Structure 1
């Protein structure tokens, strides 16, 4: 399970199989579903995987480069025999192959600094993914609490309507009995109509809040969805605002907030990128080697052969009056012959190898290297300012959240007192109205005051809980709900 409620809230609820059958969604289920299906989180995960590939590639760049090639074709007319480098004037078929290797021995530690920069960039992208998950979880929690609030308000509105309907029936009986004037009945009927309209508005607010939650979860608008109404909101633990200061919360938050951590890692990555850019100002030392061979259809090999020359008469000699023939001695003479060298023989005879060390010294390249250094310096400076601004924003957000939480607490306490006073006033008004000592307008005013006090108290309660939970999230990133 990915970062169980890492955005804002951790839900520790157990729900029954019956609730599953009714498609009941707990807060934990909503957060888990959103973390799995949210498009922005998926995009953040893709960016993280891209950074993993970039890091892997930068590590592999330290290995030697090795390339092989084969070329073959026909030449017509005057061309160069690749085996002898001499011109020939006939058709030529050639075949060649080569293997080349190059290894960077030193390049100003550019690759080392680039690898380290990519490590920090990957770690920063992981923190940004966590931040995205936190933001999504916070949005889910806000929407979920809004649904619970609208559910409570709908319940209070329905109770108000039922109370008005019951009062309407009671007033009708008293009017028929002559105990109350008919104007009271008309006032109560108007109140029932007003409460019915309020009920429709409350139902619509609940429907809209559910649609908002479905949009966050990427659920179809017609998908069955119902929140877990068994949550005991009054039993939710809240931190003691008087036991901690916003400065203490900030000191704890600055060490765990993903955005701050991502800024720090990005700053380290930019420092390494600057070091890599400076490395381009140094000479590059590299090792190279190659293997190669070739074949040409015109290549011929020559050898010396010998042939036997038969004896021939070269004269006569007279001995004692007898003429004798004189023949030459048998002898051999060299004959130069040629033959087409076969493919295997040529490839073997023409096989060549080379190895060498080279140095590339940057002298002038359009001021590219120094421009890259200045660009890296400006990127580093910009990231330093961004990190500082994000810390300032975090401090402001925490101090604002702390002030909002304390204000919400005082408002919640005030609405509780207002509700108690409104309930007492309504009880007195009900007794006086039933005795005929209070007109319908004043009675309905007291009833509406009670309803408004109830709604205000519910709104203040949920607002207080949410404000405190946001503050707890800044402090620990793990909040029990």
Structure 2
């Protein structure tokens, strides 16, 4: 019985393992979402969002009063002040003090207000940064996905080319038996077929490497199986002619990294305001509740007054205000203020650089989309022309009017035209998704 249960347990574990190791056929959107969920950089960015939120909550807590409770106890030796008579004494005595101190800041040159705004901006920036990382991972996964699609289609074309060579070889064998072709042409045909077989092997290896890179972006072990699902008919649509200037203005409003640019400048200005606040006077209200116990406190009979009685008798209150005016701090605050001004200028320059880079990316995306649209259309026309030419040259070859070399050259041009059509189609789809990303700020529909 125990042996049966042990075997059943092993079978269940193996089934769970193989189920987890298998992944259903995934679309490009599913791959991008899965890659974002599994990416460690995105997880760290999400933790940064939580940390920045905690910093923001802590900055709001600076508006609340500070409450401290304290207690001390010990024995004094040597010359000290007697708490009962306030006169010096050389007699040692036991002393214990306790109290409650409440401090409420009233004015600090708007430092707390600016710090709260600064932390709120940092919170928003960290959230946008997390979205930026997600978009970067989605973009990399998308490129890896379509690279797999491209390699699979090129592999199919290599197999098609190999099948044509095998077909031609069978026809060549018939021609050789009837004396219509020579042995030299048969040897050339065999050499062409071996080259095509090598091309299939080469494309299979490229496909495996592309699939491995996709697994790496999805954070999947190489042992896990992965299949993708892609239908070009569902992805292709007419390219919209969008002026790059208009798309750039839209991207500034939609892209998270573009939205973060404005917040970075605001955060740098708030940091400068915090540094300026260090030169203003600080005003705070204070409340102190204190009491103590001393063994020098004795009653008429010479006995030490009880602890609880002394706590009531020695209870005292203090209410007041504290004004602090900074005069000199060894140039620390002045240096900090200068550095914050330089940091603000540096941030402004970085924002301009990132905007320039974004404009260049948008312009390149628009031009690439237009070029890809034209190339894809021309590639389709070339495929039709090469296919008709192949059919014509094949009939002539069967009739013995053209050589094997001429027919194979036409065949190679036909396969190359179909490969170029595939490449331009994938490029066209990727650029479409890139343009839509600049329009919407996301790769997901």
| TM-score in terms of structure 2 length | 0.90
Once the two structures are overlaid, the 10-residue window that deviates more, 139-148 or 68-77, is: 68-77
Please give the secondary structure, in 2, of the residue aligned with 1:226: coil
Please state if 1:417 is matched with 2:381. Answer: yes
User: Displacement of 1:480 after TM fit?
Assistant: 6.8
Q: Is the 8 A contact 2:256 2:441 kept in 1?
A: no
Residue 364 (str. 1) matches residue 324 (str. 2)? no
* 2:189 alignment counterpart: 188
Cα deviation, residue 173, structure 1: 2.3
Match of 2:304 among 337, 340, 356: 340
| 1:386 paired to 2:387 | no
- Distance in 2, matches of 1:409 and 1:179, equals 46
Q: 2:54 corresponds to which residue?
A: 53
Q: How much has 1:133 moved relative to structure 2? A: 1.1
Q: Does 1:408 find its partner at 2:406?
A: no
Give the equivalent residue in structure 1 for 2:8: none
Task: State which drifts further: 420-429 or 22-31.
Answer: 22-31
CA offset digits 1:81-118 (Å, max 9, x no partner): 55555555555333221211111111111111111121
* Counterpart contact for 2:103–2:286, Cα < 8 Å: yes
Contact 1:117–1:273 (Cα < 8 Å) also in 2: yes
Give a deviation string over 1:232-252, Cα, whole Å, max 9, x none.
21342435343x211121121
- Give how far 1:401 is off: 1.3
Distance in 2 (CA, whole Å) between partners of 1:417 and 1:206 is 27
Q: Give the Cα–Cα distance (whole angstroms) in 1 for the partners of residues 262 and 294 of structure 2.
A: 63
Q: Distance in 2 between matches of 1:361 and 1:73?
A: 36
Aligned to 2:69: 68
Taking a change above 3 Å as real, the CA distance of residues 299 and 442 of structure 1, as seen in their structure-2 partners, is same
Which residue of structure 1 lines up, in the alignment, with residue 391 of structure 2? 427
Larger Rg: 1
RMSD: 2.1
For residues 439-450 of structure 1, the aligned pairs below 5 Å read: 439-450=403-414
| SS of equivalent residue, structure 2 residue 302 | strand
Determine if the alignment matches structure 1 residue 248 to structure 2 residue 252.
no
Q: Who is 2:144 aligned against? A: 143
- Equivalent position of 1:36 in the other structure: 37
The whole-number CA distance in structure 1 between the counterparts of 2:103 and 2:316 is: 17
CA distance in 2: counterparts of 1:166 and 1:25, whole angstroms: 35
The 1:366–1:257 alpha-carbon spacing in structure 2 relative to 1, beyond 3 Å, is same
Partner of 2:180: 179
- Contact 1:76–1:90 under 8 Å retained in 2: yes
**What residue number does 1:288 align with?**
286
Alpha-carbon contact 2:56-2:119 (below 8 Å) kept: yes
What secondary structure does 2:414 align onto?
A: helix
Against the structure 1 CA distance between its residues 82 and 447, is the aligned structure 2 distance closer, same or farther, given a 3 Å change threshold? farther
Which range is displaced more, 194-203 or 161-170? 161-170
**In structure 1, how many angstroms separate the alpha carbons of the residues matched to 2:233 and 2:116?**
53
- Measured in 1, the distance between the counterparts of 2:237 and 2:139 equals 17
Matched position secondary structure for 1:94: strand
Whether the 8 Å contact between 2:239 and 2:370 is mirrored in structure 1 is no
Higher helix share: 2
Query: Does the C-alpha gap of structure 1 residues 350 and 190 become closer, same or farther in structure 2, counting only changes over 3 Å?
Result: same
1:452 aligns with 2:423: no
Matches within 5 A, 1:191-206: 191-206=192-207
Question: Alignment partner of 1:225: what SS?
Answer: coil
Distance 1:207 1:396 in 2: 34
Higher strand share: 1
Cα distance in 2 for partners of 1:42, 1:338 equals 71
The one of 243, 249, 266 equivalent to 2:264 is 266
- Paired residue for 2:11? none
Distance in 2, matches of 1:101 and 1:415, equals 79
CA distance in 2, matches of 1:76, 1:111: 45
Task: Tell me how far apart the structure 1 counterparts of residues 36 and 420 of structure 2 sit (CA, whole Å).
Answer: 33
Output the CA distance in 1 between the equivalents of 2:81 and 2:185. 118
Aligned to 1:27: 28
CA gap of 1:448–1:36, structure 2 versus 1, over 3 A, is same
Structure 2 distance, partners of 1:35, 1:239, is 29
SS at match of 1:102: strand
d(CA) in 2 for partners of 1:82 and 1:160?
Answer: 106
- Given that residues 74 and 91 in structure 1 are in contact (C-alpha distance below 8 angstroms), is that contact kept between their aligned partners in structure 2? yes
Would you say 1:399 and 2:363 are equivalent positions?
yes
Unaligned runs of 5+ in 1: 1-19, 304-336
Give the conservation status (yes or no) of the 8 Å contact 2:145–2:214. Answer: yes
Equivalent of residue 472 in structure 1, options 420, 436, 442: 436
Distance of aligned partners of 1:185 and 1:480 in 2 relative to their CA distance in 1, 3 Å threshold: farther
C-alpha separation between the residues in 2 aligned to 1:425 and 1:83?
A: 118
The separation in 1 between residues aligned to 2:82 and 2:193, in whole angstroms, is: 107
**Other-structure match for 1:210:** 211
Q: How many pairs are equivalent?
A: 426
Equivalent residue number for residue 7 of structure 1: none
Within 2, Cα distance between the matches of 1:348 and 1:255? 66
Is the CA contact 1:83–1:294 (under 8 Å) kept in the aligned structure 2?
A: no
Cα distance between partner residues in 2 of 1:439 and 1:192? 16
TM-score normalised per structure 1: 0.84
Counterpart Cα distance in 2 of 1:61 and 1:92:
41
Taking structure 1 as reference, are residues 188 and 81 closer, same or farther at Cα in structure 2, changes over 3 Å only? Answer: farther
